[in-house]
Structure 1
Amino acid sequence: MAQSEKAEEILEKPHLTEEQAGQLVERLYGLKVKSVKPLDSYYDMNFYVTVDGPAPWAHGYTLKVTNGTESKNEDLIEAQNKMMAFLADRGFPVPRVVPNLQGRDMSLEQLLKNENVSYSHNIVRLLTYLPGTVYHNVPVTHHLAYEAGAFLAKVQKALRDFSHPALHRPDFVWSLRYVPSLEKHLHCLKEDPHVDIIREIIQAFREKVLPRMDDLQQGVMHGDFNEQNVLVEEDPVTPSEYRVCGLLDYGGIIVDPYIFDLAIALMYFMSVVLKDPFSFGGQLVAGYESVRALTPAEWDVLYYCVAARALQSYVLGHYTASLHPENTEYLMFTAGSVWKFIELWWGTPKEEIYKQWRNIQNN
């Protein structure tokens, strides 16, 4: 999902037909297009492209046409490209950017808008397409949750040697640092019966997490490690199990506390598990700690960070629906499932969850 830098920004989705997408690929990359298929994307436009003749990548390509608002931030998109190249060079299964005929990783293209009377300017990229199935679409097991946690920690560890000035994003609405500012969007929840709990979680984050920021290890992180952005494949050693085989969507990359990255992953991965989500969260943490042990300060704040991320998803989902009423059905469905998780998580004492997780690690 495209992620606006500021909540009040309205991201204008590009308009491109499959035929136009194919023409872009042929003109910019010199490839003979065989087929073009639209891919799900919220504010951008993505297409799965296959080509005729010899091609350096057998699995096809993803044409990414960035929304007009984010296309103005070329430095951030450059950072995304460089991070993908950095991880790919170190053996991580991530997309690679394909240079265009001018040898550039991206180009700013003038595209007709939907009404065909004005133009938008959109950054266009071609990425290698990664085969696999999104984590959300396979049976969730403890083994896979453990794998995902270990993979996240390995990515964080590798990114210690990566830097880019565009990754310092003080106003990024999806950073957990932004959580106290959610209060200014609560007007979108006028008749919501949960407002008191929302304010309680925001205040807990303000009191329990923000004063500890200097105690939390920070660095470059993916920022959106969720069940839709992680690809998996059948494990050749254990065919009944899956293993991680890809990481997508670099729109949330940022310099922030590492524990925020883990909290984001935990919230998303647990919220899609209907039965006993905390045990799957414990496996994810165990996998993570098999690579990088959490510090006492990180353990202290993790519980509140998980709740805060869920709250971000819920509140900003409602706020975005007020800006884009055409997407209300999708956004409210997502928000409904997130609230069920918030009630379960916030209604369970921190010590009880941590005790269960320690037992998982000890066993």
Structure 2
Amino acid sequence: MDDSSVSPRPLFSLQQATELTLQYYGVTVTEISTLPSYLDQNFFLMDEEGKKYVLKIMNSEDSKDTTLLGLQTLAMSFLRSHGIPAQVALPSKTGQLVNMVEADCEHGAMTFCVRLMTYLPGKTISQSPVTTKDLYYVGKLVANIDKTLQKLESPNMHALQKDGGLWSLSNVPLLEDFLSVMDGDPLQDVVKAVIDQYRTHVHPKINSFQKGIIHGDLSDQNILVTPDDSGKHVVSGVLDFSLLMNGYYVFELAVSIMYLMLENSHPLDVGGAVLAGWQSIMSLNNDEKDSLFLLVLGRFCQSLVYGRYNARKYPDNKEYLLTTAENGTRLLTKLWELGKREVERKWFMDASVLSEEAEM
């Protein structure tokens, strides 16, 4: 936990982003505004003809792995070609989808990966009143993304063998190194208890989990939906492939359930709906089913602890970094009090009912 290191966050001004877009992509920007991001920088752009774009500038640390960035870009276009509404990168004037730009953002010259992305319509699920049935179809889409990624081919697939980052659900025990940010907060005891339960009940089962390429962050902020004529919400966009990795499918499911609970008015109904949709495409084995509850809790803990840690490190982005905090704290506490048996019983019973309804 070294706070003295130089911040990898890009800090481009609106003027710099406008000039960069013209220089690299030949696009004259007539309207520009910032979009929320964790450690990267995103801009909404509009050109002279009213065409919309998103300019994504990666943090300098993630920008170092150009092979991985190329694979993320490939995965987006691959999914798009298979009917999944993923955002895709547009070529620069020299035909590059991934452009490395050197700039001084108050910390000396650093290199950042820059991509001009398609703009997708819709609002994030966090801003949308989605129904249980909508969430069934979101769960189906999440599984369909991972099933489609099984067919992705590249000589650089080895770059996805990075299931060792802080945000991987393989590494829930690494939270212990950051727990001092929770000192004085009673939630710290719940986080410690989740870590202990994870070690005892999940870690021994990991080798039996099914593995493949996963998006890694299909959260309520990274899925866009638009309402159709009947009032249902249809997924219109899948964003942010920066956590693409060779990981465990049940991790993808757990991450989605956790984040989709955050802004939902009936959070306990989310798990069964997403699970039913997921299982219509991919199945879970017994060890995965038995671990799902603790994996969801593990991601709540990661989001709350790392969010608080990064908010101290990057106070100018505190509001976004603590997006999970209020609802996440309440939900983690509630799930822990209800306990594994009761929550799993509800999730799997709800999933069974929804699956039967979907087949009728």
TM over 0.5: yes
How has the CA–CA distance of structure 1 residues 323 and 101 changed in structure 2, closer, same or farther, with 3 Å as cutoff? same
Identity %: 32
Give the letter for the 2:226 counterpart.
Answer: E
How has the CA–CA distance of structure 1 residues 166 and 43 changed in structure 2, closer, same or farther, with 3 Å as cutoff? same
1:254 aligns with 2:250: no
Shift of 1:66: 1.6
1:266 aligns with 2:262: no
Q: Please list, as runs of the form range in 1=range in 2, the aligned pairs for 1:82-101 lying within 5 A after superposition.
A: 82-101=74-93
Counterpart of 1:161 in 2: which secondary structure? Answer: coil
Q: 1:200 aligns with which of 193, 198, 202?
A: 193
1:42 aligns with 2:33: no
The equivalent residue for 1:304 is 294
Q: Please list, as runs of the form range in 1=range in 2, the aligned pairs for 1:151-300 lying within 5 A after superposition.
A: 151-162=141-152, 164-236=157-229, 238=230, 240-274=231-265, 276-300=266-290
Q: 1:113 aligns with which of 105, 127, 133?
A: 105
TM-score, with length taken from structure 2: 0.90
Shift of 1:332: 4.6
Structure 1: gaps (5+ residues): 1-5
Shift of 1:11: 4.2
Counterpart of 1:123 in 2: which secondary structure? Answer: strand
How many pairs were matched up?
349
How has the CA–CA distance of structure 1 residues 222 and 327 changed in structure 2, closer, same or farther, with 3 Å as cutoff? same
Please, which moves more after superposition, 106-115 or 170-179? 106-115
How has the CA–CA distance of structure 1 residues 81 and 330 changed in structure 2, closer, same or farther, with 3 Å as cutoff? closer
Contact 1:65/1:124, CA 8 A, preserved across alignment: yes
Contact 1:81/1:97, CA 8 A, preserved across alignment: yes
Contact 2:38/2:321, CA 8 A, preserved across alignment: no
2: CA distance, partners of 1:344 / 1:46: 34
The equivalent residue for 1:350 is 340
Structure 2: gaps (5+ residues): 354-360
2: CA distance, partners of 1:214 / 1:171: 15
2: CA distance, partners of 1:34 / 1:329: 28
Shift of 1:361: 3.4
Counterpart of 2:112 in 1: which secondary structure? Answer: strand
Shift of 1:220: 0.6
Give the letter for the 1:244 counterpart.
Answer: V
Give CA deviations for 1:292-315 in whole Å, capped at 9, x if unaligned.
Answer: 222212101111101111111111
The equivalent residue for 2:135 is 145
Shift of 1:360: 2.3
Shift of 1:201: 0.6
Counterpart of 2:9 in 1: which secondary structure? Answer: coil
2: CA distance, partners of 1:162 / 1:288: 20
Contact 1:7/1:173, CA 8 A, preserved across alignment: no
Counterpart of 1:270 in 2: which secondary structure? Answer: helix
The equivalent residue for 1:3 is none
Please, which moves more after superposition, 305-314 or 192-201? 192-201
Q: Please list, as runs of the form range in 1=range in 2, the aligned pairs for 1:46-65 lying within 5 A after superposition.
A: 46-52=42-48, 59-65=51-57
Shift of 1:337: 2.1
Contact 1:208/1:301, CA 8 A, preserved across alignment: yes
Shift of 1:76: 2.0
Q: Please list, as runs of the form range in 1=range in 2, the aligned pairs for 1:65-84 lying within 5 A after superposition.
A: 65-84=57-76
Structure 1 vs Structure 2 CA RMSD: 2.1
Contact 2:276/2:352, CA 8 A, preserved across alignment: no
Give CA deviations for 1:51-86 in whole Å, capped at 9, x if unaligned.
Answer: 235xxxx85211112222222121221121011011
Counterpart of 2:243 in 1: which secondary structure? Answer: coil
1: CA distance, partners of 2:75 / 2:345: 36
Shift of 1:198: 1.6
Please, which moves more after superposition, 315-324 or 8-17? 8-17
Give the letter for the 1:142 counterpart.
Answer: T
Counterpart of 1:228 in 2: which secondary structure? Answer: coil
Counterpart of 1:145 in 2: which secondary structure? Answer: helix
Counterpart of 2:235 in 1: which secondary structure? Answer: strand
Shift of 1:324: 2.7
Give the letter for the 2:280 counterpart.
Answer: S
Please, which moves more after superposition, 328-337 or 214-223? 328-337
Contact 1:7/1:316, CA 8 A, preserved across alignment: no
Contact 1:11/1:70, CA 8 A, preserved across alignment: no
Give CA deviations for 1:12-50 in whole Å, capped at 9, x if unaligned.
Answer: 322322232222122111233332222222322222222
Counterpart of 1:232 in 2: which secondary structure? Answer: strand
Give the letter for the 1:101 counterpart.
Answer: K
Give the letter for the 1:277 counterpart.
Answer: P
2: CA distance, partners of 1:77 / 1:207: 35
Please, which moves more after superposition, 343-352 or 145-154? 343-352
Contact 2:255/2:299, CA 8 A, preserved across alignment: yes
Contact 2:33/2:44, CA 8 A, preserved across alignment: yes
Give the letter for the 1:76 counterpart.
Answer: L
Contact 1:216/1:259, CA 8 A, preserved across alignment: yes
